[in-house]
Amino acid sequence: MNLTMDQHDLIYFDNAATTPVLSEVIQEMIPYLGNNYGNPSSQHSFGFNTSRAIENARRHVAHLIGSSPNEITFTSGGTEANNLAIKGTVSRLGINNENKSTVLISSSIEHDSVLQPFNSLKAQGFNVKFVEVNKEGMVKLESLLEFLKKEKIMLVSIMLANNEVGTIQPIRELAKITHEISNALFHCDAVQALGKIPINVKHLDVDLLSLSSHKIYGPKGVGALYARDRDQLSPLIDGGGQEKSLRSGTENVYGIVGFGEACRIASVNLHENWKYVKELRDYFIDRVLSTIPRCYVNGSMNQRLPNNAHFSFPGVKGEDIIIKLNEFGIAASTGAACSSSKAKPSHVLKAMGLSLLEIEGSLRFTLGLQNTRSEVDRVILALGETIRELRRHSGFLNN
């Protein structure tokens, strides 16, 4: 597999923020930045050419999640897919007083692109509830059950894998009880899980599922929404009626082509590829825990993405560690990089009940297919030195 990173000395352990674009993906995209420029809606060979490319990409995306191609709508990314799923469902059912009394449910650890649409619906008068999670970052089933049994529910939205701590929720079970108890639709943000763990929408029994290209070695600015029944959604964008009227606007052809190719590649050797990353990640976590005193892994170790290592190093600030690591040429993150830089303590770690000291000293490393064992060894050395130095400055270990 060829990656396009040419900064050989830099180590990129922030693959949950975004991934490098595979050179195979770029090769597929290039013709659509050049000679294949037709508008896919045009009724001539230029248009037929690009509309064929879009349908080909749709088949690859559908194949990766076990859906049929006509259940896939291309969007500008995971954020738009989440907004379309949530606001599109609500506006289809009608924003009237009767519907406002029905309940919308999500979890307290969702990405901002799910939390904010729910918060804006709440501001419009909707009854929105957030299911709690336990200390391991797993959704509390009893908390969901309590809401489902008491209220009339319109929509439940719970993510498959968390972007900060990598926890994987039992979506099949959550969707099953939702459908058994209520008529609600079940939406799942699968942006972080796509291409890392097997996903089958029929098996998961979800009604809506959001995807993004730039987390799976594809280009940025493109994603998709799976909808079991697209008639249950209203579009957010009206216009020329592209994407069967669910998402108007001339299609981002080269982006969609790149996303399709990234999905095609992700479906080949998915298990072997991520077994490799999981072994690297496990080695990394073992070495960090055995060489750095007083540090902890956050989030369930069993139900976790294969590439996520999330630690708390009490006595130091995550941001300070990142600055120091960057001087060593190492890229890590304090959490949700994709929601623009903000200094607020993580809502995910707060929901998990971590103390402020643990939250402040938290750090996320997310490995990728391009990372190697020697990079892991370099990161362990640099991290150990960084933590020792920062703790010496703060006098932490003397306390």
Site string for ligand PLP, 48-87 (x = CB under 6 A): -----------------------------xxx--x-----
**Is residue 111 part of the contact set for ligand PLP (CB under 6 A)?**
yes
For 51, the token pair is 């509309």
Contacts of 40 (CB under 8 A, 6+ apart): 47, 50, 51, 54, 242, 250, 251, 253
- Of 72, 184, 206, 338, the one binding ligand PLP (CB under 6 A) is 338
| Cβ-based nearer residue to ligand PLP, 88 or 223 | 223
- Strands lying side by side in the sheet with 208-212: 72-75, 223-227, 208-212, 185-189, 153-157, 103-107, 127-131
CA dist 293 → 105, 375, 385, 387, 393 (Å): 40, 21, 12, 9, 16
Contact in structure between 5 and 370 (CB atoms under 8 Å):
yes
| Cβ-based nearer residue to ligand PLP, 338 or 380 | 338
**With CB under 6 A, what is the number of residues at the site for ligand PLP?**
15
Contact in structure between 223 and 236 (CB atoms under 8 Å):
no
| Residue 293 C-beta: closest distance to ligand PLP, Å | 31
- Of 54, 64, 159, 206, the one binding ligand PLP (CB under 6 A) is 159
Give the residue numbers marked as catalytic.
338
| Cβ-based nearer residue to ligand PLP, 60 or 215 | 215
From the number of C-beta atoms within 10 Å of its C-beta (0-12, 13-18, 19+), residue 356 rates as: exposed
Report d(CA 72, CA 374) in Å as an integer: 40
**Helices and strands in the chain, H and E counts:** 14, 12
Touching ligand PLP, residues 193-212 (CB under 6 A): 212
- Of 113, 143, 169, 362, the one binding ligand PLP (CB under 6 A) is 113
Contact in structure between 184 and 167 (CB atoms under 8 Å):
no
How would you write 334-372 as a 3-class SS string? Answer: CCCHHHCCCCCCCHHHHHCCCCHHHHHCEEEEECCCCCC
Nearest to 311 by CA among 87, 174, 325, 344: 325
| Residue 93 C-beta: closest distance to ligand PLP, Å | 23
Report d(CA 309, CA 287) in Å as an integer: 12
**Is residue 235 part of the contact set for ligand PLP (CB under 6 A)?**
no
| Cβ-based nearer residue to ligand PLP, 38 or 260 | 260
Site stretch for ligand PLP (CB under 6 A), options 135-143, 189-197, 300-308, 354-362: 189-197
- Of 219, 223, 335, 361, the one binding ligand PLP (CB under 6 A) is 223
| Residue 15 C-beta: closest distance to ligand PLP, Å | 11
Site stretch for ligand PLP (CB under 6 A), options 51-59, 188-196, 261-269, 349-357: 188-196
| DSSP letter (8 states) at residue 151 | S
| Residue 150 C-beta: closest distance to ligand PLP, Å | 28
| Cβ-based nearer residue to ligand PLP, 108 or 113 | 113
Touching ligand PLP, residues 347-366 (CB under 6 A): none
Beta bridge partners, 3, equal 22
Contact in structure between 242 and 73 (CB atoms under 8 Å):
no
Report d(CA 147, CA 128) in Å as an integer: 10
| Cβ-based nearer residue to ligand PLP, 49 or 362 | 362
- Of 143, 157, 178, 192, the one binding ligand PLP (CB under 6 A) is 192
**Is residue 163 part of the contact set for ligand PLP (CB under 6 A)?**
yes
**Is residue 334 part of the contact set for ligand PLP (CB under 6 A)?**
no
Site residues (vs ligand PLP, CB under 6 A): 77-79, 82, 111, 113, 159, 163, 189, 191-192, 212, 214, 223, 338
